[in-house]
Amino acid sequence: MVNSRQKILTPLNLDKCLSVGSIVEAMNECSFGARMLGEVTNKIYDWITKNQQPLAIYEVSSNSPLDELLTEMVRRKWLKKVLTIEDYAQKSTPEDNVVVIGAYSQRYENILYNKPKEAIYINQYGIANPHQINDGYFPNVVFADPRLILPLIFTSLEEKLIDKKTDILELIATIKKYGGLATEVSEGCETLLTMVKDPDCFVFLTISGAMTIAKMGLIFCDLIDKNMVQGLCSTGALMAHGLVESVGLNHFKYNPHDDDQTLAKLKLNRVTDTLEPESNLTDVTLMMNDILAKYEENHIISPTNFHNIIGEYLSKKYGEYRGILKSAYEQNVPVFVPAFYDSEIGNNMYIHNLIRKNQGQKTFTIDMESDIKLLLDIFEDSPKIGIFTIGGGVPRNFIQNVAPLKEHLREELNMDFALKKITYGCRICPDPMYYGHLSGCTYSEGMSWRKMNINGKFSEVHADATLILPLMVKYVIDCLKT
């Protein structure tokens, strides 16, 4: 049961975003890092319009592009001044608002956490006043590299304050000089554009993480509808939560006044800072039951076939809404879900089979091997393979694993497969390589497994994908128009 404190979130629609500022503004209605950026930008704008310009606390790198940007913000009176943390400790007053940029020493934590009137933290290290890092609630923080975030905030403030709009092509052309994440995004855009434009390349989109709950679903629809990707591999949970949008239901912003015990009583399932009402999943269950009750063609079915059936159902019954499976069905894009039962849809299938069994009816069997055969055929028939990865996990490796599988089939069964490796790769994921899991593993490491072409083009963007995906996809869409 949703109460009046919960705010409806809105899927980010790139068709309505004609400028960088409008993308950042739309992020307010999303989740995770995207919402952090949108809300922090609006907070700084609010301070400026109330003549409460903040101090910037920043360990100055003389004449760096970021230093020059902050100097320009001071000149425009969007910032009061830029101080080192030592100067702030000695010279400022408690009445000042501050923006703390980058890392800071533990010896200054007491000053930063207690002296400012209000503080914003922008860094890629997840450090801030502990009161601003609560489970599900992260006010006045953006946990990403300031070398990207500050140019985005600056560009958005230009639009809000002086009505100067910057399009995505202008932004990507200028941010590479900042280094760090800004450079990674610029290079990632070019890699993604190159693989999408290559007529010989079959592009797989692989997705993990709560990206549909984060309101990124329409961006995935764009990638499919505009023929930028030809295959999709996802977690089951992503497809299940995506179905909620596909039938016109909503996700909600988490209000920290409601603790998890209260949410459990209300049957409001929390995903970090976002709520999925159990009633949504009940509606998904009813839809699955309707689909399965009417489907008698073949009780041995692969995940790609099953998701195609769902897409057909959505296209016919919910044509007024956009949805990933609907787009995939209409564009003939196969949707692979290797961890099929790890989701609400998998739960629905298991329960539906129990009901059928109890009624003496034939049950459904999920045939994973058919999808592996389909993947082998795609790799064999496509001159080049590209992979655009959001996160990592099973979806990423299910596609990448085809290359070593073909190698084994050649060596152990003498099957006549070409030893084809992935030619293009672009990955958006914040995880570093030293955690030792697949989400953080580099494309270079993949080359040691003979998964990646050593002469291919690969880019890695280390950040929350909700911050980066809208920018990169908008860039490619606009490039393809020119």
Determine the pLDDT at residue 180: 97
Closest-CA residue to 269 (of 457, 32, 1, 84): 1
Backbone angles phi and psi of 365, in degrees to 5: -120, 130
Sequence letter at residue 226: K
Tokens 């109890």 belong to residue: 358
59 HSE (CA, 13 A, CB side): 6
The DSSP result for 299-354, as a single string, is: SEE-HHHHHHHHHHHHHHH-TTS--HHHHHHHTT--EE-TTTTSSHHHHHHHHHHH
pTM: 0.96
Determine the pLDDT at residue 445: 87
Domain spanning 12-169: CATH 1.10.3470:
no
Task: List pLDDT tens digits, range 222-244.
Answer: 999 999 999 999 999 999 999 99
Burial code (b: 16+ CB inside 10 Å, e: under 16) for 126-161 equals ebbbeeeeeebebbbbbbbbbbbbbbbbbbbbbbbe
Determine the pLDDT at residue 3: 64
Low-confidence spans in the chain with pLDDT less than 70? 1-5
Task: List pLDDT tens digits, range 159-202.
Answer: 999 999 999 999 999 999 999 999 999 999 999 999 999 999 99
Q: Where are the alpha helices (DSSP H) in 163-302?
A: 168-175, 180-197, 217-225, 236-246, 260-266, 278-294
| Calpha distance 156→480 (Å, rounded) | 24
SS3 of residue 50 by DSSP: coil
Sequence letter at residue 344: E
For strand 118-122 and strand 201-207, is the pairing parallel, antiparallel, or unpaired? unpaired
Topology of domain 181-481, CATH: Deoxyhypusine Synthase (3.40.910)
Determine the pLDDT at residue 226: 98
Which residue ranges make up each domain of the chain?
A: 12-169, 181-481
Tokens 């795609």 belong to residue: 378
E strand or H helix at 100: strand 97-101
